[in-house]
Copies of this chain bind each other. A is one copy, B any other.
Amino acid sequence: METYSILKDLAIILVVAKTFGLIARKCKAPMVVGEIIAGLVLGPVLHILEQTDFLTYMSEIGVILIMFSAGLETNLDELKKSGFQAFMIACVGVAVPFIGGTVLYLLFHGFDGFGTENFFKGLFIGSIMTATSVGITVETLRELGFLKGKVGQIILSSAIIDDVIGIIVLTLVIGLKDTETKPTTVLLHTVLFFVFAILGGILIYKLFKRFDARYPHSRRIPIIGFALCFGMAYLAEEFFGIADITGAYVAGIILCNSQDAGYIDRKVSVSNYMIFAPIFFVLIGLKTDLSSLTMDMLWFSLAFVAVALLSKVIGCGLCAACFKHKFMECLKIGVGMMTRGEVALIITQKGISLGFIDTTYFSAVILLIIISSISVPILLKLLYAKSPDTDVVA
């Protein structure tokens, strides 16, 4: 590929994503929905663009910067207050879809006893359903102005925690079949990552604070922030097996109390909305291969999507109700947790490569991603329009 050919892709993505984004806003839907639809139009519908390695990398940077930005905007005091709640919501929000997915698979393919091949396939389908993809929800809440609200923070924290739990569940399922990766190793890695993040985070925060006091508002501040974000994301994946987006979020949290957090966040946001984030959202649409959807799979896929969405909203919503949230708040939390994205795709890909499930399940997962990516922003917007959070000024 000639180097300059990427420029055409970038120009097309920016123009079409922005156009569809603005149309979406005219229709009172969040702009990200427009950007995802732009991807669908450019890819599976008109075949103008193809997914390339370069675009994949750019979209990866996009989702990482979204998470870093979310970390920077975190209200740590609020997170501490909502920490236990978020943890419980995440746990229930993983358990219900996991069981729901397993039961769904066994209903479609027959239950022939625990520990059988079919049972493991069911468990695998269940684990695909577990991880919330917080990127779209975060971007929607930010667009609506409610990210920093109590409900926004609970959704954000729960989604981060449920990624971790989802990955633990996945590794436990794999561990039950495969004897190479021990479940205890995974648990240990996760604990180690958070120990590393807390200890390293305190050290980095102290160093950064002195650096920031010495060179406030200089260009080196956001560049160091960027480097920390990329570095933590890499370390999380490479050494602890934790999703890179979780690492980027932690990097944001480390810096969120620093004097220049807002300044870094503004620089991150400019780079992101100008180029990386649109690529991330367009690629969700672009990656979709609707042609692999057979009628057989279509029924399963539709049931899969329904179970995945309902199990999240019911699980998280009921758990939130236990913490005495009002009905509308529970609904917002449940709906906010419904989005699925790259983690579900990664888990599916892992299952296929390990021979647990075959490639036809890919279309079900993609359908889930599309439907949740499009419906959650719209639903959230409707819910917030009906009953805005009272603790933030939108």
Contact = CB atoms under 8 A, between A and B. Distances in A.
A219 B22 CA distance: 11
Nearest to A243: B4
Given A3-B60, A60-B3, A226-B14, A238 B8 contact: yes
Contacts of A64: 7
A101 to B, nearest CB: 25
A387 interface: no
Given A220-B18, A224-B15, A230 B273 contact: no
A114 interface: no
A271 interface: yes
Contact of A227 (B14, B230, B238): B14
A84 interface: no
Most chain B Cβ neighbours within 10 Å, of A5, A7, A220, A222: A7
A274 B274 contact: no
Contacts of A234: 4-5, 7-8, 11
A53 interface: yes
A299 interface: no
A270 interface: yes
Interface in A209-240: 219-220, 222-224, 226-228, 230-231, 233-234, 237-238
A4 B223 contact: no
A287 interface: no
Nearest to A2: B237
Given A22-B220, A238-B8, A267-B270, A3 B226 contact: no
Nearest to A272: B271
Contacts of A230: 7-8, 10-11, 14
A250 to B, nearest CB: 14
A69 to B, nearest CB: 13
A193 to B, nearest CB: 14
Interface residues of A, number: 42
A15 B219 CA distance: 12
Contact of A60 (B6, B53, B231, B275): B6
Given A11-B231, A219-B273, A231-B11, A4 B244 contact: yes
A327 interface: no
A7 B237 CA distance: 10
Interface string A37-65: 00000000000000001101100110010
Contacts of A224: 14-15, 18
Contacts of A267: 270, 274
Nearest to A271: B271
A15 B5 CA distance: 29
Nearest to A237: B4
Given A4-B238, A7-B231, A270 B271 contact: yes
Interface string A63-91: 01000000000000000000000000000
15 contacts: A2-B237, A3-B60, A4-B237, A4-B244, A5-B234, A7-B230, A7-B234, A10-B226, A11-B228, A11-B234, A14-B224, A18-B220, A18-B224, A53-B53, A226-B275
